[in-house]
Structure 1
Amino acid sequence: DLSGEGAQAVADEINGTGGRAIAVQVDITDTAAVEAMAAKAKEAFGGIDILVNNAALMIEIVDKPLIQTDRARFDKGMAVNVWGALNCAQVIAPYMAARGGGAIVNQVSAGAYPAQSFYGVTKIALHGVTTALATELGGQNIRVNAIGPGMTKSDAGLSLTPDDSPLVQAISARAPIQLRDTPDALCGALLLLVSGAGRWMTGQVINVDGGWVMRG
């Protein structure tokens, strides 16, 4: 996590409830930093079986139409949202292979189908990374899938699209079940993809979005 304090707070909560966790502040675009993170994880837990690529830029790159995206914004968004995930996979896949396999889960977005703004473009690109890595790493028993969250009630999501915004109201009218839910609504899909229950799944995107994408 780029926020050292935030990561430590989560680690403390996990450790306080009987789990085991360490917090590492890392820039996922920096290969040396990711390598250091992986080494710390191996030292703490003996190896790495699961990688969840959840870090991304959203607020910084979603406020303008794609046609108005300049080179600096394009490079920054692709560096974090696409290269960052690929960088982590490149570094960590060998750790998984050494243990006989593993599971990688990338977080894309329901807002990428079709792509909406430059943010959506980065998530479509990450979908491509997911399917390419699934093909390339399958021989090492490493599965690569993705989750496409809908409009979660995260701090960032609520600040960008409050419940009373015209966009939310319009999409809510088309969603078969509730459009928004808390981020922990994604955990069921995540547990499926990283556990033995999902052992025959790779290259897939599971949209957890209240039916938003299904209804278009």
Structure 2
Amino acid sequence: MRRPQTVDAHLYARPKPEVVAMILATKGAEAAQERWHWCEPRTIATLARIGRARTGMAPKGTRVRVSALTGREAIAVEAAAVLDSLTAVDTALGVPVNSTRVAFQARGLPIPQNGATRSVEGQLGRRIRRGDETAVAEREARRAHARAVCDVVAAALALVPEQPPAGRFRLPPVNDDLRAVLAVHPPAAVAAVFPALSAE
């Protein structure tokens, strides 16, 4: 049963990232901490990072992680968005869940939180512990699909040299160049990333 809303739930709600970014930029960290005193400083910093990405504000500080914009983390972000799972990308690509989560936040994107995927993985794990051979094959098939999706995303991103600083990474248009590059990849993975190609 849902608990009724209280005044505290409204007073101590999670602040909007864009507002946190604006307060930090204009008033400073002390003002933000005073305004949202119930939030940990780390939470405020995370919300500000998301807000800066969403509004196009310049990142705070001079340390810019290039890998957050290109390379494996770009593949991780796009593959996680397709698979709706950070864990699947961790297993397939080797980019830790926390790194992918930070990359999503830095780009102002909502983090995939697919409970169904976690539930399926949990059920497969329990079946495997009971000695179910088909569960082992099912889990390996899911992992192989995730690896294939990562490969398709990597091949596609290589065709787009310029990427926006925030939001989703741009994938190339569906054309003959893309078809040629993706011809060697499993059709199910290609269709997951480019649904338009599954209709051809």
TM (normalized to structure 2)?
0.23
More strand by share: 1
Greater share of helix residues, 1 or 2? 2
The structure whose Rg is larger is: 2
> If the length of structure 1 is used for normalisation, what is the TM-score?
0.22
